[in-house]
Chain A
Amino acid sequence: MTDFPLFPEQASSVAPLVDGLYLFLVVVTGAVSLLIWLVIFYFAIKYRRRPDNELAQEQEPPAILEMTWTVLPLLIFIGIFIAGSLVFFRMQAVPSNALEVYATGRQWMWKFQHPTGQREINELHVPVGRAVKITMASEDVIHSLWFPVFRVKADVLPNRYRTLWFEATKTGRFHIFCAEYCGTSHSGMIGSVIVMEPTDYQRWLAGGTEGSLASQGEKLFQKYACDTCHLDNGTGRGPVLAGAYGKTRPIEGGASVVIDDNYIRESILRPQAKIAAGFQPVMPTFQGQVSEEDLIRLMAYVKSLPAPQTAAAPPVESTPIPTPTTTNVVTTTNP
């Protein structure tokens, strides 16, 4: 009880920016607040009611005063908006070489899956000095994934993928908290992120034996008979999936769509929603048959498939840390 922090540790690349803005706000708003406090107490004392000033002397104040303290705060506030937005942009721009991790939130635990196949519950091992992107969804209600020392947070929604990213700058064990009330054990939905030196991280990764996420996804692809329609030679009843991730393709009805995480998920669960142009609406729905974690494995597999004409990326299974084949993961937004 003697060791209590009044300020959180900075453990990510973005934390100093957030703290910088925070401290700037503390100084500016603190100064203004202190000024107001001092002035009102000073006036209350200096102009206190005495028998010789029962009534105030009326002053006609200069109009410039009113304009000053309208315009000046407005300018300061706009400055705050700009500074806050710039930090926000840094938080939104996912670096292209980010390590991909998948997360599922459910009452009342966090499940993390590494692309190489390791699964963790309420713990997340990451390497220091490397950007990590977390793609996540909820299995039930709205949760929120918060890493206080990284200063990043995002709500985790059911039936929709969200992403957040961070680059840890310090090794150690730090808090993970659920930050959106989700029921009985909301305050128990906590965990730890363990940031390791790269070599330690490699060693930890090598302990996994289940095969990469993508190879698990390949097994599911066969199990659910996806491969009977989605042929690679273009003659199948379903469109070619190899190399499709990240591309923009036309759909029935004239519009086109970016083939991203959410589109793949939607196509598995509600296949009639956006049908690839030129194809018949014959794909059955897998709603209720495929779990959240299986969806993540299938997605990882589809993402890993190279385009049939080029041999761009090496097969996923041979490297401990797979080279991501995509650059743009679009975060689907709400209307």
Chain B
Amino acid sequence: MTSTTIDDAPHIEPSPSTQERRNYLNDEYGVLSWLLTKDHKRIAILYLFSVTIFFFVGGIFAFLMRLELLTPEGDMFTSDTYNKLFTLHGVVMIFFFLIPAIPAVMGNFILPIMLGAKDLAFPKINLASWYIYIIGGTFGIIVIITGGVDTGWTFYTPYSTQFSNTKVFATTLGAFITGFSSILTGLNFLVTIHRMRAPGLTWFRLPLFVWSMYATSVVIMLATPVLAITLVMLMVERVLHVGIFDPALGGDPVLYQHMFWFYSHPAVYIMILPGMAIISECVAAFTRKKVFGYKFVAFSSLAIAFLGFLVWAHHLFVAGISVYAALVFSFLTMLVAVPSAIKVFNWTATMYKASVSWNTPMLYVLGFIGLFTIGGVTGLFLGALGVDVHVHDSYFVVAHFHYIMVGGTIMAYMAGLHYWWPKITGRMYPEWWARLSALLVFVGFNLTFFPQFLVGYVGMPRRYHAYAPEFQVLNVLSTAGATVLAMGYLLPMVYFAWSLKFGRKAGSNPWGAVGLEWATTSPPPKENFHETPVVTWEAYDYPAFLKAMKETQHV
């Protein structure tokens, strides 16, 4: 293979005229042009602001919890307050950050451009999605301000329906409403991917980001409505004091758990698949190589989506299900680990004899691969019945899912944010500050959550306000890590804002990557492309893409 150097690619030097060119940011001005926009790119920016706010709200709750856990006694907050902190941390992070963030920010912005389309299939529904999210989020804020909720984000009955005297109804209503935002986004993505691909863009030429977002959207569409009906029934029980899930009135609390987890397990795949989507793109871009085993990676996204629906009862191993059910679900849980493993191996193999850049997105990618691997294998511990009995509802579980959600999803989110920042804003972020943040995040994360595996196995239960004194050392380490992690997340706020005014201006393809989004200007024009692109290259085919860019002079 000829080693085509990137110098052969047309350099789009940011000339003054290029920068003054109309793009989606300067196309229209005024608050209403943003609040009533139908442009998927502006809607993505609206989401970016909202999810960031909720991320820090949820993060503050977490930090307060970690401060309390510095000492074994519950001496900083009352028990009720602490219980509200961990509940709200979960509710805010899951429903208002992790579920929407990557799809609604990066999916919204990049997906249509990657497909060569002018917008998503239903732009007005896209805007409605954001407003629905804001309404649901407002319920969340109201709950926080007016006293909070203390049931845990899982709302187990009968505590949530008959015993808790906190704002359960308002919280579940907020989550219910936000679910519709998620559903409509998924709907939009599915139809767009099916019907609005550019000429020449066949299914197996699609970027792997699209495959993963497709799988995510399928899960969203099929799982979220089950949460919706479960929450409706919860709300009915709470308001009318009937016994749908309350055994004192004839109901079955384990049925609630089945219905809740039927959504909430696929939900974790809603949270990780988009992260994997970003990682696939960044691996290709920062190794300048086609992802190893493209078809395997594409189909593994679908396999994860499918198998993810079959394992929910592994959350109920000690809850009272039969031994036979436990065996079945343990076995299926082992199966769902396989496609994730395939992805990790394939991303690793992509790096072999590649051209690996050490830019910030790649640092987050390396972090993701390492941390997601640990998170994933600890899932095997939990899927193994004999071990799960001991570690269920302990800090081992807490560590496991934070490795996936934070070490996985949030790392991928940061990778994507840095990767597409020049495309979205037309500016580069400051590389060395960004690398420092990535390092802080990596070190802080491991220091926060690795001790939690240990303290969980030793015997510390989760959702504990006060704990046995011998657990203190590990908790202190964890809180120290949280402090470092917080700095790693605050720094980007500063330098991203700085970059908007002072960052180096970016050309169309500052990374020299393959993909339709790099075939248009940074930032893109409102209609994404001046003329509909025609795709003649295979996925991640660097030489062919670069040649096509030269020939068509795509700007």
Closest A residue, CB atoms, query B475: A4
In the complex, whether B6 has a CB less than 8 A from a CB of chain A is yes
- Chain A residues 257 to 304 lying within 8 A of chain B, measured CB to CB, are none
The segment out of B114-122, B204-212, B388-396 that lies at the interface is: B388-396
For the A-B complex with A8-B459, A162-B320, A182-B159 known, give 19 more contacts whose Cβ atoms are closer than 8 Å. A36-B344, A49-B355, A49-B356, A54-B288, A55-B3, A55-B5, A56-B354, A81-B334, A88-B326, A90-B386, A91-B386, A142-B156, A153-B389, A158-B248, A177-B461, A181-B159, A186-B79, A187-B464, A334-B320
Binds A, one of B172-180, B215-223, B261-269, B289-297: B289-297
Main SS class of interface, A: mixed
Least Cβ–Cβ distance between A32 and chain B, in angstroms: 7
CB pairs A–B below 8 angstroms (12 shown):
A5-B470, A21-B384, A44-B351, A53-B3, A54-B512, A55-B288, A69-B345, A77-B335, A77-B337, A107-B163, A160-B320, A181-B156
Pick the interface stretch among A57-65, A232-240, A317-325. A57-65
Q: A148 — nearest CB in chain B belongs to which residue?
A: B459
Is there contact, CB below 8 Å, between B463 and A4?
Answer: no
Q: What is the CA–CA distance of A18 and B388 in the complex, to the nearest angstrom?
A: 9
Closest to A36 in B: B373
- Residue of B292, B334, B344, B369 with most partner-chain A CB within 10 A: B334
Interfacial chain B residues near A54, Cβ < 8 Å? 3-7, 288, 355, 512
Q: Is A329 part of the contact surface with B, judged by Cβ < 8 Å?
A: no
Residues in B neighbouring A3, C-beta threshold 8 A: 470
In the complex, chain A residues whose CB is within 8 Å of the CB of B334: 74, 77-78, 80-81
List B285-327 residues whose CB lies under 8 Å from chain A. 287-290, 292-293, 296, 318-323, 325-327
Q: Which residues of A contact B158 (CB under 8 A)?
A: 140-142, 158
A185 contacts B79, C-beta separation under 8 Å:
yes
The answer to whether A334 touches B471, judged by C-beta atoms less than 8 angstroms apart, is no
Residues of B within 8 A of A229 (CB): none
Partner of B377, one of A21, A29, A151: A29
> Number of A interface residues, CB 8 Å?
88
Decide if B348 is an interface residue (CB 8 Å cutoff): yes
A171 CB within 8 Å of chain B: no
Report A-chain residues with C-beta under 8 Å of the C-beta of B466: 187-188
Residues of B within 8 A of A70 (CB): 296, 338, 342
Cβ B355 vs Cβ A25 within 8 A: no
Chain B residues near A144: list those with CB within 8 A.
318, 393
The answer to whether B348 touches A36, judged by C-beta atoms less than 8 angstroms apart, is yes
Shortest Cβ gap from B80 to chain A (Å): 5
Measured CA separation A40–B394 after assembly (Å): 31
Instruction: Check B470–A153 contact: CB distance below 8 A.
Output: no
Tell me whether B318 and A22 are in contact (CB under 8 A): no
Contact of B392 among A149, A153, A157 (CB under 8 A): A153
Interface string of B45-72 (1 = CB under 8 A from A): 0000000000000000000000000000
Asked whether any CB of chain A lies closer than 8 Å to the CB of B1, the reply is yes
Given contacts A6-B458, A85-B386, contact A43 B354 (CB under 8 A): yes
Q: Is B411 among interface residues, defined by CB-CB distance under 8 A?
A: no
Q: Are B390 and A141 in contact (CB under 8 A)?
A: no
Chain A residues within an 8 Å CB radius of B386: 17-18, 21, 83-88, 90-91
Give, as a whole number of angstroms, the nearest-CB distance from A43 to chain B.
4
| Chain B residues whose C-beta falls within 8 Å of the C-beta of A112 in the assembled complex | none
Q: B363 — nearest CB in chain A belongs to which residue?
A: A44
Nearest B residue to A48 via CB reads: B356
Chain A residue with the shortest CB-CB distance to B390 = A151
From A25, A184, A190, B380 is in contact (CB under 8 Å) with A25
CA distance A178 to B460 in the complex (A): 10
- Interface centre among A32, A41, A184, A334, by most B CB within 10 Å? A334
> Which residues 130-157 of B sit at the A interface, judged by CB distance below 8 A?
150-152, 156-157
* Minimum Cβ distance to chain A for residue B159 (Å): 4
Judge if A253 is at the interface, Cβ distance under 8 Å. Answer: no
B533 CB–A CB distance under 8 Å: no
Complex alpha-carbon distance, A190 and B253, angstroms = 23
A1 touches B472 (CB 8 A): yes
B387 near A36 with CB under 8 A, answer: no
Residues of B within 8 Å of A158, CB to CB, are 158, 247-248, 253
Contact pattern, B 334-353, Cβ under 8 Å of A = 1, otherwise 0:
11011001101110110111
Known: A25-B387, A91-B386, A141-B158. A4 touches B472 (CB 8 A): yes
Digitize A157-188: 1 where CB-to-B-CB distance is under 8 Å, 0 elsewhere. Answer: 11110100000000000010111111111111
B108 within 8 A of A: no
Interface residue from A49, A89, A181, A334 paired with B357 (Cβ < 8 Å): A49
Min distance, Cβ A110 to any Cβ of chain B, angstroms: 14
Provide the residues of chain A in CB contact with B341, threshold 8 Å: 69, 73
Residues of A within 8 A of B467 (CB): 187
